[in-house]
Amino acid sequence: MDPLWTGCFCLQCIREKEVGVVEDLGQFKRLVKEGPSCIVWPLQSVVGRLSLRVQQLDVLCETKTKDNVFIQVGVAVQYRVVTEAAYDAWYRLTSPTSQIQAYVFDVIRSTVPRMELDEAFESKDDIAGAVLEQLQSVMKDYGYAIVNTLVTDLAPDSKVKASMNEINAARRLKEAASHQAEADKVRQVKNAEAEAEARYLSGMGVARQRMAIVQGLQSSVAEFSQEVEGATPKDVMDILLLSQYFDTLSTVGANSLILEHDPATVAKLQRQVGVSFLRDGSGKDLLS
C-alpha cells in the first residue's frame, strides 16, 4: 500500500425512502440507496440526501378575474423525486420549490383572468388540471414527478364575499316570499271553497228542515181533520199558529225582555198569516 495513502473506508447509512449523492473530490461519483454504504473518506463524501416520499408545496397566488375581482388562489402541489433521475433533481435545480411556485403563478395568472368570479368557483378542476399539465411537462426534465395539483382555496376580498352573501340572501328571501304568497293564495282559496261548501250544506239542511216541517204540518192537519168531526183545515192552522205564537213569547221571555201582549194581536196576526199562506197569487182559497 502507498505510504502516502491516509484515507480509510467509512460506513454511511441512508434512511429508507431516501437516496444519497456521493461526490469524489467535488465531482459526482454515484447515487447510493437506502442502507449501509462504504465510501473512501476523506476523498469521498455524501454531499446530499434526497427524499423519495411524496411532498406537498402550498402556493398562494393573487390574481383577478375577468370581471375585475381580485382573489387569492390557493394551490397544493404534490410532487416527488424520481429515483432514476435523482442526479437531475440534485444538480439541475437550486430550489425546486421556487421553480414549482413560479410555474404555478404563471398558469394561475394566465387562466383565471379569462374567467368571471362565479365561473372560477365552478372551474376549480379545470384550473388544477391546467397547473398539473404544465408542471408535469416541465418538471420531469428536472427529475421531479408531479403527482397531483389541487385548488384548495378561492378567496375574494371580504367586501366581495359580503356582497355575494347579500345577493344570495336576497334571492332566497325573494323565493321565500313567493312561496309564502302562493301558500296564502292556496289557503284563501281553500277557505273560500270550504265556506261555500258549508253554506251550501247549511242551505240544504234548512231546505230539508222546512220540507220536514211542511210535511209534518200537512200530516197533522190531515189527521186532526179526520179525528175531530166538524173541524176544518183552517181551524187546525189557527190552532197551530196560536201555539207557535205562545212558543215565541216563551222563548223571548227567557231572555229577560218585556213585551206588551194584547189578545187582539193574536187574532190580527192569525188573520194576516191566514190570508198570506192560505191564498195563492190569484186570490183563490187553497183550503176550500
pLDDT tens profile 154-210: 888 777 777 777 777 788 888 888 888 888 889 999 999 888 988 888 888 888 887
Specify the higher pLDDT residue, 9 or 108.
108
For residue 262, pLDDT over 80 is answered with no
- Indicate the average pLDDT of the chain: 79
As a whole number, mean pLDDT of residues 71-82 equals 91
The CA distance from 233 to 50, in Å, is 126
3-state secondary structure 214-229: HHHHHHHHHHHHHHCC
The CA distance from 265 to 281, in Å, is 25
For residue 288, pLDDT over 70 is answered with no
pLDDT in the model for residue 260: 59
CATH code for the domain defined by 55-156: 3.30.479.30
Q: For residue 132, how many other CB atoms are within 10 A of its CB? A: 19
Q: What is the pLDDT of residues 89-100, one digit of tens each?
A: 888 888 888 989
Model pTM greater than 0.75? no
Distances (CA, A) of 270 to 51, 63, 210, 220, 239: 121, 102, 20, 18, 9
Asked whether the beta carbons of 20 and 31 are under 8 A apart, the reply is yes
Domain regions of the chain by residue span: 8-51, 55-156, 164-225, 232-288
What is the three-class DSSP state of 179? Answer: helix
